[in-house]
């Protein structure tokens, strides 16, 4: 059987500490690649509002800064952390990674290959590409950068996954 959930992957916090995505078991996740100097950067605040809209529910947003598109993430480590504090980011932001190409983080290689994740093939075309993950760690959908975090499309899909329960 294909191991089609994200829980086998480890990720690094901005402080270098490694965690397993299995820490997010039983939560609905929105995984987003971000950048501090992108035209879509205002979505950081919208993502915070989205998280607030689902406060008290089993929902989390996890963000991965990436410099893969137009050099729009020049910041590193503590600089990213400071930028996110100024932006009032209320969700975990992890270490800067590659999200496409041969050096992409294994999680993003997983998203890119339907034969790996069992659902879809999606490589980010720009910053703020979003992946929706269900409570069992399975990729269920993706949204292009121009789909705003507070759009009814994203909110309805999150609500539907949360309604399925554990």
Question: Among all residues, which ones are annotated catalytic?
Answer: 38
CA dist 21 and 36 (Å) reads 24
Q: Which positions ≥6 away from 66 have C-beta within 8 Å?
A: 33, 34, 35, 73, 96, 97, 98, 99, 124, 127
CA dist 119 and 114 (Å) reads 5
User: What is the DSSP secondary structure assignment for residue 6, as one 8-state letter?
Assistant: G
| Cβ–Cβ under 8 Å, residues 52 and 83 | no
State how far Cα 141 lies from the chain centre: 12
């Amino acid at each position: 059987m294909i191991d089609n959930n994200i829980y086998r992957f480890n990720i690094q916090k901005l402080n270098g500490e490694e965690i397993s995505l299995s820490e997010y078991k039983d939560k609905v996740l929105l995984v987003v690649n971000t950048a501090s100097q992108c035209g879509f950067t205002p979505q950081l605040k919208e993502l915070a509002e989205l998280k607030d809209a689902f406060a008290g529910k089993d929902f989390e947003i996890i963000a991965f800064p990436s410099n893969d598109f137009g050099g729009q993430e020049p910041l590193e480590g503590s600089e990213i952390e400071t930028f996110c504090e100024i932006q009032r980011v209320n969700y975990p932001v992890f270490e800067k990674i590659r999200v496409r190409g041969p050096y992409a983080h294994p999680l993003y290689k997983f998203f890119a290959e339907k034969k790996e994740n069992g659902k879809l093939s999606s490589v980010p075309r720009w910053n703020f590409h979003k992946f929706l993950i269900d409570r069992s760690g399975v990729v269920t959908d993706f949204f292009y950068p121009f789909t705003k975090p507070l759009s009814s499309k994203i909110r309805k899909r999150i609500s539907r996954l949360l309604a399925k329960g554990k």
